[in-house]
């Protein structure tokens, strides 16, 4: 047999080995990209769940929750399509502290403080009347309270769980209980 005939068979074997190696590389790349897509999808679901927990917390904080703190179940629509995407469980907010404010702590030029300033001449109005000086000492008609609001969201589709804990400091009318 001539050398040329033997080389033709070797070329076929080398070509087949190269095709097998190339096929294995392509399969490995496909598997790696599928795993990467799953990781990115899981991260997106985790972020959406965390966002839902924060939205639920913010929704509670935007209400007058200090008057009657209670547990709530809040429906959250992340993509604003009109359907509930997540359900957040928000336990009753917890008051962690209450501080009685004095008139010295308040600024008469700040509109948010005007309802809290007590006056020696305008009793129990909660308003600073023009020309009436507020007593610089003495209790105001407000407390400064610190609250802790928590929310937990579990995505039933993916199993992603997110917790949100947010502290908030609020001015409340004097006499508001800190349970």
Taking the C-alpha atoms of residue 45 and residue 50, their distance in angstroms, rounded to an integer, is: 9
Q: pTM value?
A: 0.66
Question: Could you tell me how far CA 122 lies from the centroid of its own chain?
Answer: 43
Contact partners, residue 157, CB within 8 Å, separation at least 6: 45
Taking the C-alpha atoms of residue 72 and residue 166, their distance in angstroms, rounded to an integer, is: 16
Q: So what's the pLDDT on residue 60?
A: 92
Q: So what's the pLDDT on residue 2?
A: 64
Domain ranges in the chain are: 3-173
Structural contact between residues 116 and 83, judged by C-beta atoms closer than 8 angstroms: no
Q: So what's the pLDDT on residue 136?
A: 56
Computed on alpha carbons and rounded to an integer, the radius of gyration of the chain in Å comes to 33
CA angle 111, 54, 57 (to 5 degrees): 55
Taking the C-alpha atoms of residue 153 and residue 53, their distance in angstroms, rounded to an integer, is: 6
Q: So what's the pLDDT on residue 71?
A: 93
- The one-digit pLDDT tens for each residue of the chain (179 residues) are 566 665 667 788 888 999 999 999 999 999 988 999 989 988 888 888 999 999 999 999 998 888 888 999 998 888 888 888 888 999 999 999 988 888 887 888 888 777 787 764 444 444 444 444 445 567 788 888 999 999 999 887 777 889 999 999 888 888 888 87
DSSP state of 119: B
Q: So what's the pLDDT on residue 134?
A: 43
């Amino acid at each position: 047999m001539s050398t040329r005939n033997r080389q033709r068979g070797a070329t076929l074997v080398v070509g087949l080995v190269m095709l097998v190696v190339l096929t294995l590389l392509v399969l490995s790349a496909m598997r790696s990209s599928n795993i990467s897509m799953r990781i990115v999808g899981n991260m997106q679901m985790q972020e959406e769940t965390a966002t839902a927990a924060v939205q639920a917390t913010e929704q509670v904080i935007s209400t007058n929750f200090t008057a009657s703190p209670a547990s709530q179940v809040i429906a959250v629509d992340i993509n604003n399509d009109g359907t509930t995407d997540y359900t957040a469980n928000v336990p009753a907010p917890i008051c962690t502290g209450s501080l009685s404010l004095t008139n010295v702590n308040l600024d008469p030029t700040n509109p948010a403080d005007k309802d809290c300033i007590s006056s020696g001449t305008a009793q129990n109005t909660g308003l600073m009347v023009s020309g009436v000086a507020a007593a610089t000492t003495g209790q105001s008609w407000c407390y400064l309270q610190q609250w802790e609001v928590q929310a937990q969201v579990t995505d039933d589709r993916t199993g992603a769980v997110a917790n949100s804990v947010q502290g908030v400091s609020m001015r409340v009318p004097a006499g508001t209980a800190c349970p």
